[in-house]
Structures are given as C-alpha cells and as structure tokens.
Structure 1
Amino acid sequence: MPPTGPSPACAGANLEGITGSGDDTGSVQAYWRGLVGPVYEAACAGDERPLSNLFLFVESHEDFMTSPCPGCTPGEIITMWLKDFGFGTEDLALLLETPPTQDQSGLTYRRGDAVTWFSRGTHDTPGGWAGLYPGCEADRRCREYLAP
C-alpha cells in the first residue's frame, strides 16, 4: 500500500488540557504521549503499514470501519478511509493536532466529521488506539459513542 504522504504541519500531537490528579499531570501526559505518539508519527510519515499495526483490537476492527467489511485487515480498512471518505494519513495527523476531550475512558479527538479516540485501558486490557471514524455522522456506532 503506497503512503498517502506526510502531513505538511506535523507540529505535534495535541495533549493540551490533559491533567492528572495532584502532582501526576506529567506522568499522565507521558502515558498518553506513549499511546498517541506512535499513531501521530505514522500518520505524519504518511506510512499506512505501521499505522495499521497500531489498532488496539486486533481481532475486531469494528471501531475502525467505514463500511461493512467482514474479515477486512487493518490495511484494507485504512484504504477504505481514503476511498469512502477521502480521509488519508495527513487527515489523521491533523485530527491528532486538535485539542482532545478527556474523560474517564480516555481521549477523544474531533475535527469536522472525523473522530478518533484512545482508551486508557483497564486492569486486564492495555490502553491504546481504540477507534477512528472519518465520517462519524454516517455511522450509528460513532454517533452513539459520542451521545451525551
């Protein structure tokens, strides 16, 4: 799969406003930087191959889908982002440069109709990149996820 090209900006993934409790804000930001950073760096490099390896749920990619695709690989899903929504690696980099919303479950980035989130993890599930919808309004699961 050929790269879609590096982001012209790539000023850095935005972790603005991410806080911890008490004095651990720095460690909280370092934790999120470890999860968001590799996704951002792959998007900036315009390289879809390492990007597809960063999906959190290896066996079920439903939170990265853009259209029904039983058995699709992460690489095929990334290709669908571009084909179905015109959403490439540059768009993902720009999305991660927006200020995220932080809640108990993790971080959510939103830019236009594109939404991506990172899970903080639990005692038995590691944190990681948990989903991306390049066209949130077109997908019921994404709309439900963002509903108050």
Structure 2
Amino acid sequence: MRSHRDVSVYSYRSHRDVSVYSYRSHRDVSVYSYHSHRDVSVYSYRSHRDVSVYSYHSHRDVSVYSCRSHRDVSVYSYRSHRDVSVYSYHSHRDVSVYSYRSHRDVSVYSYHSHRDVSVYSCRSHRDVSVYSNRSHRDVSSVTTCIRQVGVVSSQTFGIIMYNKSRK
C-alpha cells in the first residue's frame, strides 16, 4: 500500500521463517519496521520531530531494548544476556545518569545528577553490600558497608538513605 500526499508506505513480506513488516510516513518522518527470522526478532521505530528512536533486538537469550529522545536528550537502554542484565538511563537537561548492572550475585546501581551534584551508588555481592551517597549543596557524604546473611532488602537501603549526616 502506497500513498503520495503524506507519503506513507506500508509493506509486508513473508518467506518461511522470515517475516518483514515496514511502515514509513513522510510528514513527521516516522519509520516503523519489524524483522523476524527464527529466533532473531528486530523491532525499530523512528520519529523525526522530537527525534525519538525505539529499537528492540532479540536473539535467543540476548535481548536489547533502547529508546532515544532528542528534545530533553534522554537515552534509555536495556540489555539482557542470560544472567547478565544492564539497564541505563541518561537525561541531558539536569544531567542525570541512572545505570543498573546485574550479573548473577553481583549487582551495581549508580545514579548521578548534575544540578545539585548528587551521586548515589550501591554495590552488592552476595552478603556484602556497599552504599555511598554524596551531595554538593548541603555537603553530605555517607559510605556504608553492610554484611547480612541472605539478600539485603530495599527497606535497609531506605533506612541508610535517610540517615545522611549534614554539615
């Protein structure tokens, strides 16, 4: 199916285990495509005005998800490979960065923010977890190391977060 005025194109193809779906539109310049081949599937979406890009890739145990947006310049990506998962988020205006990584029993969480210059990071490896927080405005810095049998609960992190020493 093709249309000229707003220039939209739709196509679909299928061949045994290979299917392809694509859609294009000119005015706001949006492109949608989908590809599949046995265990490999790819999904992508693009839009021009606010410049957002969405893509998804999957191959057996490997999945990748990413999203980008231009105006406030935010980037979101997620990757997973069996026991290894990576999550990251970037935003430009107030310059905040959020990332999360996990590999079996090792998890790392970090958060950065520019305006008030606060840095939050947490690391956990089985029974050992490390939490650190730095903030610029009120000049507070906390580093805590906990040993606990079993998994450290989010409530424990909540208690640590609000027990900041301020100068």
TM-score of the alignment, normalized to the shorter chain, above 0.5: no
CA radius of gyration, larger in: 2
> What TM-score range do you get, normalising by the shorter chain?
under 0.3
Tell me the TM-score normalized by structure 2: 0.24
Tell me the TM-score normalized by structure 1: 0.27
Q: Which has the higher strand share?
A: 2
